[in-house]
Amino acid sequence: MNKPILLSRSNIFLFIIVLALIAFPFVMDSRTLTILVTQILIFGILAMSYDILLGYTGIVSFGHAMFFGIGAYCTAIMLNDFESTIFVFIGSIAVGMVIAGILSFIVGLLTLRLKSHFFAMLTMAISGLLLVVAEKWRSVTKGNDGFTFKAPEVFKDRIVFYLVVLALIVIVFIVLKRFVNSPLGRVLIAVRENEQRTKSLGFKTLYYKVIASVLAGVIASLAGSLYAVSLRFVNTAVLTMEITLDALLMTIIGGVGTLIGPLVGAVVIESAQHYLSGLARDFPIFERWIIFFGIIYILAVIFFPKGIVGTIQAKYFQWKDKKAQLNVVPLSKNKESSK
């Protein structure tokens, strides 16, 4: 009963969704829609990486954008300065991941000892510092204006790029799922639940928090690389607080600690952003869509503290429990009478 079954109901469900997503660009011949879904998938990767921090390890970071930005800049700069080929693209992803990994390792080691709110503040400060550097270092980044670059030839076809992103999100999902269900992942959850007790069981919690933050940083960098290619443009916006808040919102609205939740969150937030900014042309109030997110956020925290997926999961377990209890009652009665 407790065996991890490959063909569990939820896995079949996910498999069908992936099939639908593969078929989607061929069925719906809409460039805007393909671009929108690509964007959703990219932010889905980012949000899942944030979930490793927030949902699984209980770390609140306000600086996650720095790793996203590192990926985005690595890919943009390398594709621009070298050749715009698929090899450079792959290499730039690797370079971004390594830099993000090293940075998150150092930041983690220096700051994760601190109380959580100090950590949150410090990550915000470091990420802010990186933003300033990117703005001032105009020779490389072109600052706030940013620069456009050529994507590799194969990605001229939006569908090809879409499929690459889809493949990557599936891989990231599987890897992260494995990770959180490993003995190591279990300890991360223990840290989230009660760090002091985790220590008293003999686990060096700092190591676990650093591992979580390196993994999250590396995956965020991948998302950043893909994001840059999807726009064929990069500017300092990739390093701003807005990216971090997007990841935070997606994770919370979708449901922390579920991995699927952040994906659902990405769908909700990205499509809302898309349609609300469309509405803004007719109703200027929608230009302030960030206000709507504030409202969604407050409502979500009040009514769905577990997020969309978390709430559904809880309901499902309740229902299963009830069913199980109905089945168990006669059995336990027998036991008692035989005593």
Partner 1 sequence: MEPIIRTENLSISFGGHKAVDRVNFEMPEKHFKSIIGPNGAGKTTFFNLISGELKNTEGDVFFKGQSIANLSSVERTRLGLGRSFQITNVFPNLTVLENVRLAVQSREKIRFNPFKHYLHYKKITQDALTILEQVLLENKAHHIASQLAHGEKRKLEIAMLLALDTEVLMLDEPTAGMSLEEVPAILDVIKSIKSRGDKTILLIEHKMDMILDLSDSIMVLFNGKLLADGSPSEIMNNTTVQNAYLGGLYDGELVET
Residues binding partner 1 (CB under 8 A): 2-4, 178-179, 181-187, 189-190, 193-194, 196-205, 207, 211
Closer residue to partner 1 (CB): 115 or 281: 115
Judge whether 259 and 177 are in contact, CB under 8 Å.
yes
Minimum distance from residue 183 beta carbon to partner 1 (Å): 5
Q: Give the tokens for residue 179.
A: 């990770």
Residue closest to 296 by CA, chosen among 315, 263, 271: 271
Closer residue to partner 1 (CB): 55 or 152: 55
Minimum distance from residue 199 beta carbon to partner 1 (Å): 5
Helix (H) or strand (E) holding 21: helix 9-27
Minimum distance from residue 185 beta carbon to partner 1 (Å): 7
CA–CA distances in Å: residue 227 to residues 76, 218, 332, 336? 10, 14, 57, 62
Minimum distance from residue 261 beta carbon to partner 1 (Å): 15
Q: Give the tokens for residue 252.
A: 């919370």
CA dihedral 197, 112, 258, 21 (to 10 degrees): -160
Minimum distance from residue 302 beta carbon to partner 1 (Å): 20
Minimum distance from residue 204 beta carbon to partner 1 (Å): 5
Burial status of residue 121 (CB atoms within 10 A of its CB: 0-12, 13-18, 19 or more)? middle
Judge whether 45 and 172 are in contact, CB under 8 Å.
yes
Closer residue to partner 1 (CB): 152 or 255: 255
**E strand residue ranges, 201-293:** 233-234
Minimum distance from residue 229 beta carbon to partner 1 (Å): 29
Closer residue to partner 1 (CB): 77 or 260: 260
Closer residue to partner 1 (CB): 281 or 335: 335
Closer residue to partner 1 (CB): 142 or 192: 192
The rounded distance, in Å, linking the Cα atoms of 274 and 296 is: 15
Closer residue to partner 1 (CB): 53 or 229: 53
Closer residue to partner 1 (CB): 83 or 321: 321
Q: Give the tokens for residue 102.
A: 């090293």
Minimum distance from residue 87 beta carbon to partner 1 (Å): 28
Helix (H) or strand (E) holding 216: helix 205-231
Q: Give the tokens for residue 57.
A: 């390890």
